């Protein structure tokens, strides 16, 4: 990867001055066109060896373009806030919305490389992290992000010279500490790790661009020209947008037997039995939430189900067992414009709970493969790739020690009809029933097919779906409470919670 | 993944008979439309648990469709021929061309799963193999293959019943051996390994379709219907073909300094010195090729270079040192129609050498990122993804113990002009110069940029490019011989050859 970059590229002062003026103007124009266009975000990743001009380049880009529409974010050691969430949380939080430019300084590439160079992770772990990065970047590109990855390179000699020069100048001496020299000693090993890493994470949609770092002027023009070309290409190609690509169909339900129709939706439970059970499971859940080891865990519970199946009621019976300061309710409605300017998983990364807390999602990221699929809000290719993306997302949560519990509350078509009618009649329930509910009801079969695909493709050993027979609300609420409580108890019983649960 | 498939699906005899007739006719029609259309191949992978009807389904598909245009291939234990090539060689060999249907029975999924279930590979190896499969399948889909992956499933009870039924019937008793019962004992572990495997290798472009295997009629209709829908969707969508997708530009060479221009093309060597060196290196290479450990190795040497740079002459000086029965010369010209009906790497997988042999490629798979890029024979997205695909391909060779050596023979534009003119004048050399050579010459700069990108993006520690200064043929030939010879000697010196070489 570094063959070209190690050559002695140079640009003279006069040539630079002449080109810089034109380049700045063109970049600024492109940035404004991007803002006007508003159909995609630009994410620039800055990485590479010490002393190769990464920081200078970031400053220059902010100088050349309008810094008010650039979000520059340097990722160092994770903050407390960040360390308590899955590793990628902080990157998601900083993603630029459509029409804007984000610059990430030390993004998801840094840690795996450093850990591998230092021998803290083995080849297998490294391979797994590379695969994770490939999938993350593929997903961002599929979501329309223009992902530009610049790697600043210096040969060993060049790096040595550069560090010496910095150390000799009183104005820059502070930049060369023992850490920098320690890194320099590992230069060969660093390159040995980085080269295959760069190759494996270079794809057609998001190739690494290796920038020769030794000559400041050459480096600046290299990045500036490439950024401009990439922006213009995407902006000008907009008209020729690809038609939604065709992907193989999933299995259409060919008989009436599926995971939903196989449920016995009417489950008996009397009010008396319910009240006894409610007290029992709320008590156990409360105890579990106050267990000392719970401070190391967090819980993400997803509530999906038919309209009128009683999601809200079930959530309230769970939260009834908990300290109000220990959980968040996250109701999920149709995305706002701000949310639509981001990849669809973005708005679910943000409210992830810190350790020791619960988050209850009333509807969730599964909207992608439910309502967005059925209503055609996204392309077929989009929701089909979402199964894998959602599995990746939940796997990241579980690896971080999050207990993931997912409920589908199922009522029969008849029972739904009864509840809708009741809602229309009872004054204080009328707000709960809208024309949309009736419209959704007409698409009952399409939703059923979507739910079955969802359960088949996203019920995993570590984050399984629980299908809840909900014609009888008492039964449904107790099943939810019991499942959640047992999941937490089982995670508490393990040395490190959340993984390995079935 | 198996939630739906474990339900007790059934189809009655009469309903089956009625639907089957219509389905067969429609499938046969689709198959002929596919042949007529000729723009993509269909590859069907058949996998799943023992006794779930895999074999029956393959027979049925051959019965329902025209078997003359179906290539069915079952992969068992690799043959001698196969075991001496990299693991995927046999799959490439059997790929169906455009317009045809291929059925693979036990393809690339089988071995990793079995090895993992049996504990022969660890989680890290398994993860790496999953990543390899993801990239292989992505590449096939990018190349236009309609990849349909059917997984036949039985619950543990269903499998037990099925094996017992087979064992009880004298006509099928032979099918249930100790092996089948041994597999059955590991059912739970098998599912534990397969479920995440299926999820991770399910993508939007090539999702796994889980087929309930217990009821023969239901199973048959399930596969038949899905296959028909997938074929029709692709055939009928053909008109709406996506425009070539836009990907970020690579780094355009911004000064005249690059890995080629940095070469000193005129290297001194007298005829006398050349003849002495030639004898020395040919002798050493011959010795290396007759070394007992060479029988465990093989060598793939790639010769690329400017027109008229002396590739043929260099190859002849190498083969001059070898037993004619020990190597193959593979001249690569523009692909024939047969070759264009396959993914571009297909024609290079086929002539890979057995152990103990050399293969010399006079031009190679790098045509994808050279001539095809410059002349626009493939889309921009195609050649940009090719760097990663080529790296994967060569990594597979190296892992198998193949020594991969790659030469770029570089002459200056002036030297090329002299040689072209000479060829026109010398009678017996005239066949070597065509109008095309002169046309290519006009695109010198575009080719130069392509070569530089190629070297940067595909020169790896285990399969590096050697740039050969070739204005002086003597120097060029000796450098080639010496590089090749040292690569082989270094591989012989290692316990297992070919890896870790720089």
Q: What are A164-219's pLDDT values in tens digits?
A: 988 888 888 888 888 888 888 889 999 989 988 998 898 888 889 999 999 999 99
Instruction: Give the model's confidence band at A5: pLDDT under 50 very low, under 70 low, under 90 confident, else very high.
Output: confident
Record: contact A247-B11, CB cut-off 8 A: no
Q: What is the pLDDT of residue A498?
A: 41
The two tokens of residue A188 are 């060969």
Please give the pLDDT value at position A246: 64
pLDDT at A150: 95
Question: How many other CB atoms sit within 10 Å of the CB of residue B404?
Answer: 21
Mean pLDDT of the A10-19 span: 91
Tens digit of pLDDT for each residue in B41-83? 999 999 998 889 999 999 999 999 988 889 999 998 888 888 8
A123-161 pLDDT per residue, tens: 888 988 898 899 899 889 988 899 999 999 999 999 999
Q: Is the pLDDT of residue B498 over 50?
A: no
Closest chain B residue by Cα to residue A141: B247
Q: How far is CA A65 from CA A14, A29, A43, A218, in A?
A: 22, 9, 14, 19
Please determine, for residue B242, whether its predicted confidence score (pLDDT) is greater than 60. no
The phi and psi torsions of B44 (rounded to 5 degrees) equal -105, 120
The pLDDT score that the predictor gives to residue B494 is 83
Asked if residue A103 lies in contact with residue A73, where contact means CB atoms within 8 angstroms, the answer is: yes
Residue A311 has pLDDT above 70, yes or no: yes
Tokens describing residue B357: 């042999």
| Exposure on the CB side of residue A235, measured as CA atoms within 13 A | 22
User: How many CB atoms sit inside 10 A of residue B269's CB?
Assistant: 16
- Indicate the helix (H) or strand (E) that contains B489: helix B473-492
**pLDDT tens per residue across span B117-155:** 989 999 888 988 898 899 899 889 988 899 999 999 999
- pLDDT of B149 reads 95
Q: Cβ atoms within 10 A of the Cβ of B252, count?
A: 11
Q: Smallest Cβ distance to A259: which of B7, B237, B257? A: B7
- For residues A374 and A244, the model is more confident at A374
B291 CA to chain A: closest CA distance, Å? Answer: 31
Query: Nearest by CB to A455, which of B3, B196, B203?
Result: B3
Asked if B487 and B285 touch (Cβ cutoff 8 Å), the reply is: no
pLDDT digits over B212-230, tens only?
A: 999 999 999 999 999 999 9
Per-residue pLDDT reduced to its tens digit, B179-213: 888 888 889 999 989 988 998 898 888 889 999 99
Sequence-distant (≥ 6) Cβ neighbours of residue B325 within 8 angstroms: none
* Residue A305 confidence class, pLDDT cut points 50, 70, 90: very high
For the entire predicted model, the pTM comes to 0.80
pLDDT score, position B499: 41
pLDDT for B254 equals: 66
Structure tokens at B498: 């070919």
Report the C-alpha gap between B31 and B27 in whole angstroms: 6
Query: For residue A496, what pLDDT is reported?
Result: 56
CA distance B11 to chain A (A): 9
Quick check: B327 pLDDT over 50?
A: yes
| CA distance linking residue A290 with residue B317, whole number of Å | 79
Which of chain B's residues have a Cβ under 8 Å away from the Cβ of A373? none
Q: Is the pLDDT of residue B387 over 50?
A: yes
Residue with tokens 């797994």: A128
Mean pLDDT for A253-263 is 82
Percentage of residues of chain B with pLDDT beyond 70: 96
How confident is the prediction for chain B on average, in pLDDT? 89
Q: How far does the CA of residue B237 sit from the closest CA of chain A (Å)?
A: 7
The predicted pLDDT at position B246 comes to 64
DSSP B92-133: HHTPPPTT-EEEEES-TTHHHHHHHHTTSS-HHHHHHHHHHH
- Neighboring chain A residues of B410 at a CB cutoff of 8 Å: none
Instruction: Name chain B contacts of A254, Cβ cutoff 8 Å.
Output: 218, 221-222, 225
* Strand blocks (E) in B100-243: 101-105, 146-153, 208-212
B321 to chain A nearest CA, in Å?
Answer: 32
Does residue B240 surpass a pLDDT of 60?
no
Report whether pLDDT(B314) > 90. Answer: yes
Residues 6+ apart with CB under 8 A from B5: A456, B153, B210, B211, B212, B213
Selecting from A3, A207, A459 the residue whose C-beta is nearest the C-beta of B259 gives A3
Count how many pairs of residues, chain A against chain B, have C-beta atoms within 8 Å: 203
The distance of A446 to chain B (nearest Cα, Å) reads: 16
Nearest CB neighbour to A457, from listed B202, B221, B381: B202
Q: How far is CA A485 from CA A280, A284, A286, A357, in A?
A: 11, 7, 9, 14
pLDDT of amino acid B410: 97
Q: Which residues contact residue B363 at a Cβ distance below 8 angstroms, ignoring those fewer than 6 apart? A: B303, B304, B311, B331, B332, B333
Nearest to B203 among A9, A251, A388 (CB): A388
Burial of A229 (0-12, 13-18, 19+ CB in 10 A): middle
Helix boundaries (H) for A290-403: 311-319, 337-340, 346-349, 371-375, 380-399
Alpha-carbon Rg of chain B, whole angstroms? 27
Q: CB within 8 A of B258, min separation 6: which ones?
A: A4, A7, B448, B452
Across the beta sheet with B298-305, the strand order is B327-331, B358-362, B298-305, B402-410, B465-469
Do B209 and A251 lie within an 8 Å CB cutoff? yes
Residue B244 has pLDDT above 50, yes or no: no
Q: Which of A1, A2, A3, A392 to mutate to test the interface with B (most CBs of B within 10 A)?
A: A3
Which residue of chain A has the CA closest to B462? A196
Check A245 against B242: CB less than 8 A apart: yes
Alpha-carbon span A194 to A109, nearest angstrom: 10
Q: Quote the pLDDT of residue B243.
A: 46
Q: Which residues in chain B touch residue A264, judged by CB atoms under 8 angstroms apart?
A: none
Picking from A76-80, A179-183, A429-433, B105-109, which range would have the lowest pLDDT averaged per residue?
A429-433
Query: What average pLDDT does range A323-351 have in this prediction?
Result: 86
| pLDDT in the model for residue A417 | 92
Q: B456 vs A230: CB contact, 8 Å cut-off?
A: no
d(CA B23, CA B35): 18
pLDDT digits (tens, 9 = 90+) for A341-361: 888 898 898 889 989 999 999
Cα–Cα distance measured from residue A198 to residue A204, given in angstroms and rounded to the nearest whole number:
13
Handedness of CA A27, A29, A31, A37 (dihedral sign): negative
Residue of chain A minimizing CA distance to B463: A196
Which residues in A lie closer than 8 A to residue B196 (C-beta atoms)? 460-461
The count of C-alpha atoms lying within 13 angstroms of the C-alpha of A71, restricted to the half-sphere facing its C-beta, is: 16
Range B425-436 average pLDDT: 77
**pLDDT over 70 percentage in chain A:** 96
State yes or no: pLDDT of B451 exceeds 90. Answer: yes
pLDDT for residue A376 is more than 60? yes
**What pLDDT does residue B500 have?**
38
Chain B CB contacts of A42 under 8 Å are none
Q: What distance, in Å, lies between the first and last C-alpha atoms of chain B? A: 44
Calculate what percentage of chain A has a pLDDT beyond 90: 54
Specify the range with the lowest mean pLDDT, choosing from A390-394, A480-484, B271-275, B284-288: A390-394
Task: Name the DSSP class of B15.
Answer: H
Which residues in chain B have their CB less than 8 angstroms from residue A459's CB? 1, 3
Residue A142: how many other CB atoms lie within 10 Å: 16
- Report helix angle A156-168 to A187-200, nearest 10: 120
pLDDT for the residue B174: 83
For the question of an ipTM over 0.95, the answer is no
Please state, in angstroms and rounded to a whole number, the distance separating the CA atoms of residues B289 and B497: 13
d(CA B41, CA B133): 19
pLDDT at A60: 93
């Amino acid at each position: 990867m570094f063959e070209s970059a190690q050559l002695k590229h140079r640009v003279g002062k006069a040539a630079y001055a002449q080109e810089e003026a034109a380049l700045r103007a063109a970049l600024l124009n492109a940035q404004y066109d991007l803002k006007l266009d508003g159909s995609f975000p630009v994410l620039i990743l800055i990485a590479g060896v010490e002393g190769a001009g990464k920081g200078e380049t970031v400053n220059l880009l902010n100088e050349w373009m309008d810094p008010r529409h650039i979000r520059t974010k340097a990722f160092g050691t994770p903050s407390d806030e960040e360390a308590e969430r899955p590793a990628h949380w902080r990157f998601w939080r900083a993603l630029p919305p459509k029409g804007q430019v984000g610059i990430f300084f030390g993004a998801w590439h840094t840690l795996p490389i450093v850990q591998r160079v230092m021998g803290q992770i083995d080849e297998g772990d490294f391979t797994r992290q590379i695969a994770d990065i490939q999938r993350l970047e593929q997903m961002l590109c599929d979501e329309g992000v223009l992902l530009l990855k610049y790697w600043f390179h210096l040969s060993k000699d060049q790096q040595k010279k550069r560090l010496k020069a910095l150390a000799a100048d009183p104005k820059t001496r502070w930049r060369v500490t023992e850490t920098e020299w320690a890194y320099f000693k590992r230069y060969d090993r660093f390159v040995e790790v980085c080269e295959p890493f760069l190759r494996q994470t270079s794809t057609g949609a998001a190739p690494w661009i290796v920038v020769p770092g030794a000559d400041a002027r050459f480096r600046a023009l290299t990045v500036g020209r490439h950024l401009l070309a990439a922006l213009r290409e995407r902006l000008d190609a907009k008209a020729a947008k690809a038609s939604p690509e065709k992907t193989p169909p999933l299995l259409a339900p060919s008989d009436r037997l599926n995971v939903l129709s196989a449920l016995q939706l009417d489950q008996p439970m009397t009010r008396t039995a319910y009240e006894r059970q409610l007290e029992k499971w709320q008590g156990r859940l409360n105890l579990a939430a106050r267990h000392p080891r719970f401070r190391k865990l967090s819980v993400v519970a997803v509530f999906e189900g038919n309209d009128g199946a009683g999601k809200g009621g079930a959530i309230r019976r769970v939260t009834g067992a908990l300290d109000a300061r220990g959980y968040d309710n996250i109701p999920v409605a149709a995305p706002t414009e701000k949310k639509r300017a981001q990849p669809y998983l973005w708005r679910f990364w943000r409210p992830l709970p810190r350790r020791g807390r619960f988050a209850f999602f009333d509807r969730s990221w599964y909207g992608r493969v439910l309502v967005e699929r059925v209503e055609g809000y996204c392309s077929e290719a989009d929701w089909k790739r979402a199964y894998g993306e959602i599995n990746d997302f939940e796997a990241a949560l579980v690896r971080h020690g999050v207990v993931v519990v997912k409920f589908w509350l199922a009522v029969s078509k008849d029972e739904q009809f009864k509840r809708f009618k009741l809602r229309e009649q009872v004054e204080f329930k009328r707000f709960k029933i809208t024309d949309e509910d009736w419209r959704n009801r007409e698409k009952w079969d399409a939703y059923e097919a979507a739910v079955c695909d969802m359960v088949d493709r996203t019920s995993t050993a570590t984050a399984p779906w629980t299908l809840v027979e909900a014609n009888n609300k008492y039964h449904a609420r107790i099943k939810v409470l019991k499942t959640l409580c047992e999941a937490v108890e089982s995670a508490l019983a393990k040395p490190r919670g959340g993984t390995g649960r079935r």
